[in-house]
Amino acid sequence: MSYPYQIKNIEQYHHDYKRSIDDPAEFWSTIAEHFTWKKKWHTTLNWNFSEPKIEWFKGAKLNITENCLDRHLEKFADTPALIWEPNDPDEHHRILTYRKLYEKVCQFSHVLKNNGVKKGDRVCIYMGMIPELAIAVLACARVGAIHSVVFGGFSAQSIADRLYDAQAEYIVTCDGAYRGQKDIPLKSVIDDALIGNRIVKKVIVTTRTRTPVSMIKGRDVWWEDEIKKVETLGLTDFPAEEMDAEDPLFILYTSGSTGKPKGVVHSCAGYMLFTTYTFVNVFQYQQGDIHFCTADIGWITGHSYILYGPLSAGATTLMFEGVPTWPDAGRFWNIIDKFKVNILYTAPTAIRSLMGFGLGPVHGHDLSSLKVLGTVGEPINEEAWHWYDEHIGKKKCPIVDTWWQTETGGILISNLAGITPAKASYATLPLPGVHPILVDENGKEVEGNNVSGNLCIKSPWPSTIRTTYGDHERCKTNYFATYPDLYFTGDGALRDENGFYRITGRVDDVLNVSGHRIGTAEVENAINMHANVVESAVVGYPHDIKGQGIYAFVIYQGSHAQNTHGTAEMIRKDIHQTVSRIIGAIAKPDKIQFVSGLPKTRSGKIMRRILRKIAEGETENLGDISTLLDPGVVEEIKNGKL
């Protein structure tokens, strides 16, 4: 397949970029002609950021799975769509061609329908990284149900919160999941999440780990049994539900600066268009390339660049169940060698972690098939960029440093592999259709180059967030109210002399830990649930592997936590356990410092700016602390820094 909208050189990039900004409706309308529609649109774009209201391809009807599957059957039926590499390298991998994936999605669509799932219903998917996860996601889209994938590392409480917020009536899960040396008991976590739940009607369970599970009569059914029923009836095809361009495709929960996760909603048409367009252009995908994105489908990266973007482009996408360091730190390199991977898209955290093992695990693996390297989730530091370039790409593979968010649906700022220039630690230039600007704290645009400010986007791109599920006001407040008529990313950035953008990090109370966004309020709420914790404050600090670590300052009641080292360590473990149970292990603080008080203003506001500086190792220039309620507490915190 050739892609008529693939950018071939830097002149075309500048030409297409100008067209897309001057007349976005005309630009995207031309690209949309290359997709399959049940009915064409009458209005390409209608928007107003102040409400916010964003509509693309108004009046169009489609189903995204017809673009990801059906339209490829004529030419690419026998082409691998999905390659699955299991956690255990001794277990056999699986390859699903486009025909096989189509058949399995149709089968499971029948299963969903037979169990009562219909258009508009919310289906929570809590699974390990197995092909059935991809099949479940696509089957939901095919029947018109709204899928909400929850990462397999979240706790029962986190799932319960998400189920309640989405009012989900259906769950698809596994008995358990493998991740490195761990067996994760997914079904029992779901059972805990469902205690007291009166909304969920059906739980469909697939077998992976053969972990003993409790199956509740009338509610829980086995995936395999349900598939057999469909096979017995001889049902193969499943007609794709006709969806409106602006119908919700999925809800994906992300952390905000308040404790409550928010359900980001993406719609069918614009999301499909933008993920496909950015996949083809950023990675310069060529038909037959093997694309290996190492993310989990529980995150937006997995949605957009393991599933929807690659499949809509007729690509071959590789899905990995395990972790990069098990059974040894050569696992990625082994997979690249085994499948002759052409594109590797991974996180800076993974790269920094693998750097720590030295070059031994890299040696002995043939990486010559690689053509493009990519990074995602956080800005990549220069040292890691150069290591990746030299030792993995052998200085022959362009590195695309992609900046985007759950809310943006697809990549907004990135160099295009081998087409536009790369610069270590810079995301560089915006994609066509993306209009970034920098503003100061008053919302005034910062013009010119060699400047910095808060990163905003001036107009909508096709996969802009449409709403936060069940709470449109929250969407407006979080993204569109800070600066009038702008989408505020929450990130700071600088623009160099060439107009290249470098993301400098969050400017709100959200941490970026190993590429996962975690709200400080969410972690504080979890710590404060511990019976003996009076109060806590959480900030980020530089972490060699994760990029940003979680530093918690905790006021602990009763016998002082620092009486003995043993006592303090035991309490830290208890707090870790509490956070894991309420949010999940990804939110466990890296450092917990016990304090007798927190730096507060007389009105009671915690001065996180001071705590952040102390956590970062800056103890001298803390600014004016004379206005604090108790300035003496700062000295105590400085002296006790871990």
Question: Which pLDDT tens digit goes with each residue over 442-473?
Answer: 899 999 999 999 999 999 999 999 999 999 99
DSSP type of residue 352 = H
Taking the C-alpha atoms of residue 271 and residue 246, their distance in angstroms, rounded to an integer, is 10
pTM value is 0.90
The pLDDT of 579-595, averaged and rounded, is: 92
Label residue 379 by pLDDT band (50, 70, 90).
confident
Label residue 565 by pLDDT band (50, 70, 90).
low
DSSP type of residue 72 = G
Each residue of 62-99: pLDDT tens digit?
Answer: 999 999 999 999 999 999 999 999 999 999 999 999 99
48 Cβ contact partners less than 8 Å away, ≥ 6 residues apart: none
Among candidates 216, 235, 233, 120, which has minimal Cα distance to 173?
216
- What is the radius of gyration, based on Cα positions, of the chain? 24
At residue 627, does pLDDT exceed 90? no
Strand boundaries in 18-63, DSSP class E: 43-48, 53-58, 61-62
Taking the C-alpha atoms of residue 5 and residue 556, their distance in angstroms, rounded to an integer, is 59
| Percent helix, strand and coil across the chain, each to the nearest 5 | 30, 25, 45
Query: What is the fold, at CATH topology level, of the domain defined by 93-241?
Result: Rossmann fold (3.40.50)
| pLDDT of 75 | 95
Each residue of 324-346: pLDDT tens digit?
Answer: 999 999 999 999 999 999 999 99
Taking the C-alpha atoms of residue 370 and residue 393, their distance in angstroms, rounded to an integer, is 7
Taking the C-alpha atoms of residue 163 and residue 124, their distance in angstroms, rounded to an integer, is 7
Among candidates 121, 227, 123, which has minimal Cα distance to 173?
123
* H helix or E strand, kind and range, residue 442: none
At residue 258, does pLDDT exceed 80? no
Question: Residue type at 125?
Answer: I
CA 72 → CA 5, 76, 110, 286, 487, distances in Å? 18, 5, 21, 15, 36
Q: Are 326 and 357 in contact (CB under 8 A)?
A: no
What is the residue whose two structure tokens read 């009486």?
563
Taking the C-alpha atoms of residue 39 and residue 542, their distance in angstroms, rounded to an integer, is 51
Here the tokens at position 226 are 């349900």
Taking the C-alpha atoms of residue 176 and residue 162, their distance in angstroms, rounded to an integer, is 20
CA 478 → CA 73, 342, 465, distances in Å? 42, 38, 11
447 Cβ contact partners less than 8 Å away, ≥ 6 residues apart: none
- CATH 3.30.300.30 in the chain, residues? 512-639
User: Reduced to 3 states, what is the DSSP secondary structure of residue 190?
Assistant: helix
Q: Which residues of 69-82 are buried (b: 16+ CB within 10 A; e: fewer)?
A: bbbbeeebeebbbb
CA 248 → CA 96, 135, 278, 586, distances in Å? 27, 19, 20, 28
Label residue 1 by pLDDT band (50, 70, 90).
low
Each residue of 513-528: pLDDT tens digit?
Answer: 887 878 887 888 889 8
Each residue of 383-401: pLDDT tens digit?
Answer: 999 999 999 999 999 999 9
Q: What is the dihedral of CA 67, 68, 72, 78, to 10 degrees?
A: -170
446 Cβ contact partners less than 8 Å away, ≥ 6 residues apart: 437, 438, 439, 440, 452, 453
Instruction: Note the helical H segments in 175-267.
Output: 186-193, 223-232
Among candidates 528, 405, 253, which has minimal Cα distance to 538?
528
| pLDDT of 441 | 86
The pLDDT of 593-617, averaged and rounded, is: 84
The pLDDT of 29-52, averaged and rounded, is: 97
Compute φ and ψ for 104, nearest 5 degrees. -70, -35
Q: Are 68 and 311 in contact (CB under 8 A)?
A: yes
Q: Are 399 and 428 in contact (CB under 8 A)?
A: no
Taking the C-alpha atoms of residue 184 and residue 298, their distance in angstroms, rounded to an integer, is 15
Q: Are 267 and 247 in contact (CB under 8 A)?
A: yes
At residue 622, does pLDDT exceed 90? no
At residue 561, does pLDDT exceed 60? no
In the chain, pLDDT over 70 holds for what percent of residues?
97
At residue 368, does pLDDT exceed 70? yes
* H helix or E strand, kind and range, residue 49: none
How do strand 591-595 and strand 547-556 relate by DSSP bridges? parallel
- CATH 3.40.50.980 in the chain, residues? 93-241
Q: Are 415 and 430 in contact (CB under 8 A)?
A: no
| pLDDT of 295 | 95
At residue 559, does pLDDT exceed 70? no
Higher per-residue pLDDT: 378 or 175? 175
Taking the C-alpha atoms of residue 1 and residue 73, their distance in angstroms, rounded to an integer, is 12
Q: What is the mean pLDDT of the chain?
A: 93
Highest mean pLDDT among 52-56, 155-159, 346-350, 625-629: 52-56
| pLDDT of 116 | 98
| pLDDT of 640 | 87
Taking the C-alpha atoms of residue 501 and residue 427, their distance in angstroms, rounded to an integer, is 6
Q: Are 252 and 264 in contact (CB under 8 A)?
A: yes
Region at 507 (left for phi over 0; alpha for psi -120 to 50; beta for the rest): alpha
Label residue 484 by pLDDT band (50, 70, 90).
very high
Looking at domain 512-639, its CATH superfamily turns out to be ANL, C-terminal domain (3.30.300.30)
DSSP type of residue 403 = B
At residue 203, does pLDDT exceed 90? yes
